[in-house]
């Protein structure tokens, strides 16, 4: 059986490597992320140079942990097509300008035919209203938007 292609957006790596949260919601997200990570061999994982850049930012110790988690993950190229698609998502106000990197993550996953885009960013990436608008924009171009979900959704809420 062919493994499903999963594009890892930066927030997943951040939840994976962050100190355990005292916030109940964030702690649950972390737990779901750990469970996904334990089963990562079931998937064909990828990220991008954008994920590397975002993971390298901020506190150096935390950045080192994020980058270590990405070691060995296949990096997808940021193509001219992905840049142009992201620019259009922002120019048409589907994705706000302040979230242009989020538009680029979506576009990278799309042009590389990812089955899933895994994220905890539910404001601009995992937002169903935004997804519907992006999917329609891409559909008329003959492109298929990957299924955008959280690790918990991908694993089906499996907590065993």
Give the mean pLDDT of 74-92: 97
Confidence class for position 159, pLDDT limits 50, 70, 90: very low
Structure tokens at 158: 């499996």
How many angstroms separate the CA atoms of 15 and 66, rounded?
9
Confidence class for position 91, pLDDT limits 50, 70, 90: very high
| Residues whose CB is less than 8 angstroms from the CB of residue 155 and which lie 6 or more positions away in sequence, other chains included | 32, 35, 36, 39
How many angstroms separate the CA atoms of 81 and 138, rounded?
12
Instruction: Say what percent of the chain tops pLDDT 90.
Output: 94
Q: Looking at the chain, how many residues does it have?
A: 160
pTM of the model: 0.94
The yes-or-no verdict on residue 94 having pLDDT over 80 is: yes
Tell me which residue of 39, 56, 50, 55 sits closest to 3, measured CA to CA.
39
The yes-or-no verdict on residue 125 having pLDDT over 70 is: yes
72-15-145-134 Cα dihedral, nearest 10 degrees: -140
Q: Is 157 left (phi over 0), alpha (psi -120 to 50) or beta?
A: left
Instruction: Write down the pLDDT at residue 1.
Output: 78
Instruction: Write down the pLDDT at residue 156.
Output: 83
Angle between helices 10-17 and 24-38 in degrees, nearest 10: 100
Q: Which CATH architecture has domain 4-154?
A: 3-Layer(aba) Sandwich (3.40)
Report the DSSP beta bridge partners of residue 118. 8, 149
């Amino acid at each position: 059986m062919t493994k499903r292609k999963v594009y890892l957006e930066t927030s997943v790596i951040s939840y994976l490597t962050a100190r355990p949260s005292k916030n109940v919601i964030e702690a649950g997200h972390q737990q779901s992320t750990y469970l996904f990570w334990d089963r990562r061999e079931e998937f064909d994982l990828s990220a991008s140079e954008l994920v590397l850049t975002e993971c390298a930012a901020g506190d150096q110790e935390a950045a080192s942990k994020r980058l270590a988690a990405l070691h060995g993950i296949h990096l997808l190229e940021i193509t001219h097509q992905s840049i142009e698609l992201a620019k259009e998502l922002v120019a048409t106000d589907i994705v706000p300008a302040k979230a242009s990197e989020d538009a680029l993550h979506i576009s990278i996953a799309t042009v590389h035919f990812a089955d899933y885009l895994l994220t905890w960013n539910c404001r601009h990436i995992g937002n169903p209203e935004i997804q519907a608008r992006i999917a329609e924009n891409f559909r008329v171009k003959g492109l298929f938007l990957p299924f955008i979900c959280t690790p918990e959704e991908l694993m089906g809420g499996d907590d065993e």
